[in-house]
Amino acid sequence: MKRPLGSAFLKLLYFVRPFRSTYMPAIFYSFLNKLFNLMPEILLATAVNTVVAKENSWLTNFGFHDLKVQLLVLGLLMMITYALESLFEYLSSTRWWNLAQLVQHTFRVQAFERVQKSTLRSSLDQKTGNLLSILNDDINQLERFLEEGINNIIEIIGATFFIGGVFFYLAPKVGIGVIAPIPIIVLAIFLVRKKIGFYYFNVRKKAGNIGALLANSLLRLLTTKSFVAEEIEKQRLERVSLDYREANFEAIKWGAVLEPAIRFLVLFGLLVTLVYGGILTIEEKLNVGIYSILMFLTPRLLTPFTDAAEIMVDFQKVIASTERLLDLFDLPVEQSPNTPIAVKGGITFANVGFAYQDKTATLRNVSFQIHPGEHVAFVGATGVGKSTLLHLLLGFFFPDVGTILYDDKDMHHVSLPVLRRQIGVVSQETILFEGTILENISYGYPEATREQIVQAAKNAAAHDFIMQFPQGYDTVLEERGQYLSGGQRQMLAIARAIVREPSILILDEATSAVDYATEAMLATTLREVSKRRTVVNITHKLSAAKLADRICVLENGTVVEQGTHSELLTKEGVYARFWKLQGESFSITNVKKL
Ligand SMILES: Nc1ncnc2c1ncn2[C@@H]1O[C@H](COP(=O)(O)OP(=O)(O)OP(=O)(O)O)[C@@H](O)[C@H]1O
Ligand SMILES: [Mg+2]
């Protein structure tokens, strides 16, 4: 959903509200800085008047009657003005930088937190690279604007009011002519701003597309190389990069037209002072001092407006970035009651039906009951919905119909984080991160002791290969554990799942990549591990399923058979057919004989 453009600005203001104590002084110092910045022109003009017209200036009111003394005083005032201008420059810029840092830091952390807390359904729609570009580029855009953009806007507003006031005080007739272009400039800026708002939103969107493509592409570098698809990837990048360029061009075009137009209007104001003010001076309706003040001040009033186009473009970029950022804050957050739960290990599915967005039902009428401490295997063809079961068990998604109970508590009524902490999961994709093996195993359970970690690794049959590394458990794994074998990664993932001694252990193809000898070893230790907890083992390997207390067979999105290995074989149904296909030659007992 797209919000009207203005509201992003209002929301931005709302978000920066907590930083009032930083931005209020920043605005104040900026105004003072701009004020002192204009003083030298007035002092110079006064000096010109003193020298050329040999007239007493306003300094006579302060008791300085000698013209040379007046010049000296002007020099002194000039020094003071410069010193104060520099002081307020320092004070304002440090405050703006501070605000920029505060805002970018807070926004980044809050947006990241929001993405993490969003429902899986909504985060699946988000492309990782696009999120990266929002959390990086778009927030940086905001930082840059706060550092400089606002300061420039204050300069324009300050100059308009201050110099405008001086003009109307000294020479109202000339003032009207000089000020006249300003409303036209402001109007032009507003009109163009309206026009380019959409373009810059588009630019940011295209930047997000580049991010999405880059992230996606770099993560599958190996696949790209093995399929010699480098050229295809390059062309893809070229396409989105070109898209970005074109979107930028559309946006830049309007800003580029605006700038010369503003210059022209500024020129008009300058000519008014030069010619009309000059005529009035010749006719002695205006004194030379005032004429020189006007001459010095007119460019100071109008030239900042030539930068207005650029400032407006920057502002529009920020609004576009803010829109994207605020979209993240609109993501639906995963919610669950605070009710804690102490899981004993019982799981009940009662007539559960579930469909992913816009899809036909993946699970239909699924019913089964698992008792605490039971070891149940789920088998079924690829795509039948086994991993979907796992998603439902963890509350990533909720069933469309039916209920899921933990022990006797409806999942809807318990705190999901509390529940998840009591479940150890080895998902189908093993994700390791940059850090030591120790950190990888104790991920999410930082209180784990070294002994617990080593024991978990032993139970996961990982200890031996870990000890082969010179640094053992302190070996630093690279990003995604990419220098480990697939099987080694799975063993670490199993260790990670069991280190926290969960009440329920869920394995989703946890041993798909380990060899049969390792699997046999794992089976023995897992039998130990499973004595103390419920185990849900989703697996293609019937050799592993065979060891379970009970096997649930899924077909067409529902449980069609349940029973022990031998019960199911005698039934001669789906499971018996699977068993025949895989062949007994792969069963654990045979491996042990090898
Ligand atoms: N996030 C998703 N959005 C939409 N459809 C999905 C999503 N995840 C899975 N599916 C679909 O749901 C069905 C079940 O997928 P699931 O991952 O549960 O299968 P599986 O039994 O685990 O398969 P495998 O044995 O290959 O792991 C598949 O048809 C799949 O295309
Ligand atoms: Mg799966």
Per residue in 414-436, pLDDT tens? 999 999 999 999 988 878 888 89
Q: How far is the CA of 387 from the centre of ligand 2 (A)?
A: 4
Reported confidence tier of residue 593, pLDDT bands at 50, 70, 90: very low
CATH 3.40.50.300 occupies which residues in the chain? 337-422+504-594, 428-501
Q: How far is the CA of 355 from the centre of ligand 1 (A)?
A: 10
pLDDT at 592: 37
Is residue 321 a contact partner of residue 138, using CB atoms and an 8 Å limit? yes
Domain 337-422+504-594 in CATH 1.10.540.10? The answer is: no
SS3 for 76?
A: helix
What are the C-alpha distances in Å from 453 to residues 103, 497, 518, 520, 549? 40, 11, 19, 21, 28
**Burial group, residue 61, by CB count within 10 angstroms (0-12, 13-18, 19+):** exposed
- Give the total residue count for the chain: 594
User: How far is Cα 512 from Cα 542, in angstroms, rounded to an integer?
Assistant: 11
pLDDT at 302: 84
SS3 for 177?
A: helix
Atom of ligand 1 nearest to the CA of 538: 22
Mutate to test the pocket of ligand 1, among 125, 360, 386, 512 (most ligand atoms within 8 A of CB): 386
Ligand with the closest atom to the CA of 508: 2
pLDDT at 545: 87
pLDDT at 586: 46
Answer whether 382 contacts ligand 1 (Cβ < 6 A).
yes
Reported confidence tier of residue 594, pLDDT bands at 50, 70, 90: very low
Atom of ligand 1 nearest to the CA of 124: 1
Neighbours of 80 (CB within 10 A): 12
Strand 423-426, strand 504-508: pairing: parallel
Q: Which one is predicted more confidently, 335 or 59?
A: 335
CA 296, 300, 303, 305 torsion: positive or negative?
negative
Q: How far is the CA of 539 from the centre of ligand 2 (A)?
A: 9
395-411 per-position pLDDT tens digit: 999 999 999 999 989 99
Nearest CA residue ID for atom 4, ligand 1? 356
Answer whether 383 contacts ligand 1 (Cβ < 6 A).
yes
User: How far is Cα 41 from Cα 499, in angstroms, rounded to an integer?
Assistant: 74
CATH of 5-327 among 1.20.1560.10, 3.40.50.10260, 1.10.40.30, 1.10.1740.10: 1.20.1560.10
Lowest mean pLDDT segment, chosen from 3-7, 275-279, 504-508, 543-547: 3-7
Compute CA 192 distance to the chain's CA centroid, rounded to the nearest angstrom: 29
Answer whether 386 contacts ligand 1 (Cβ < 6 A).
yes
Compute CA 130 distance to the chain's CA centroid, rounded to the nearest angstrom: 8
* Residues 6 or more apart whose Cβ sits within 8 Å of residue 110: 329
66-99 per-position pLDDT tens digit: 878 888 988 999 999 999 999 999 999 999 999 9
User: How far is Cα 321 from Cα 1, in angstroms, rounded to an integer?
Assistant: 15
Mutate to test the pocket of ligand 1, among 359, 360, 362 (most ligand atoms within 8 A of CB): 362
User: How far is Cα 583 from Cα 594, in angstroms, rounded to an integer?
Assistant: 16
Q: How much is the average pLDDT of 40-52?
A: 82
Q: How far is the CA of 389 from the centre of ligand 1 (A)?
A: 10
449-480 per-position pLDDT tens digit: 999 999 999 988 899 999 999 999 999 988 76
Answer whether 428 contacts ligand 1 (Cβ < 6 A).
yes
> How many percent of the chain have pLDDT more than 70?
95
Ligand with the closest atom to the CA of 392: 1
pLDDT at 63: 75
Answer whether 124 contacts ligand 1 (Cβ < 6 A).
yes
CATH 1.20.1560.10 occupies which residues in the chain? 5-327
What single DSSP character describes residue 429? S
**Burial group, residue 368, by CB count within 10 angstroms (0-12, 13-18, 19+):** middle
- Cα–Cα nearest to 306, from 260, 272, 254, 252: 260
Residue 69, strand partner residues: none
* DSSP string over 250-298: HHHHHHHHHHHHHHHHHHHHHHIIIIIIHHHHHTTSS-HHHHHHHHHHH
91-112 per-position pLDDT tens digit: 999 999 999 999 999 999 999 9
Question: Topology of domain 428-501, per CATH?
Answer: Rossmann fold (3.40.50)
Q: How far is the CA of 378 from the centre of ligand 2 (A)?
A: 11
Mutate to test the pocket of ligand 1, among 122, 125, 359 (most ligand atoms within 8 A of CB): 359
pLDDT at 176: 87
User: How far is Cα 111 from Cα 131, in angstroms, rounded to an integer?
Assistant: 10
Is residue 497 a contact partner of residue 426, using CB atoms and an 8 Å limit? yes
pLDDT at 587: 43
Reported confidence tier of residue 56, pLDDT bands at 50, 70, 90: low
User: How far is Cα 214 from Cα 137, in angstroms, rounded to an integer?
Assistant: 14
pLDDT at 239: 95
Q: How far is the CA of 482 from the centre of ligand 2 (A)?
A: 22
Is residue 10 a contact partner of residue 76, using CB atoms and an 8 Å limit? no
Is residue 182 a contact partner of residue 324, using CB atoms and an 8 Å limit? no
Neighbours of 206 (CB within 10 A): 20
Q: How far is the CA of 385 from the centre of ligand 1 (A)?
A: 5
Q: Would you say residue 589 has pLDDT above 50?
A: no
Q: Which one is predicted more confidently, 368 or 583?
A: 368
Answer whether 385 contacts ligand 1 (Cβ < 6 A).
yes
Answer whether 362 contacts ligand 1 (Cβ < 6 A).
yes
Q: How much is the average pLDDT of 123-150?
A: 86
Answer whether 356 contacts ligand 1 (Cβ < 6 A).
yes
SS3 for 588?
A: helix
Is residue 413 a contact partner of residue 403, using CB atoms and an 8 Å limit? no
Neighbours of 492 (CB within 10 A): 26
Answer whether 337 contacts ligand 1 (Cβ < 6 A).
no
Is residue 462 a contact partner of residue 492, using CB atoms and an 8 Å limit? yes
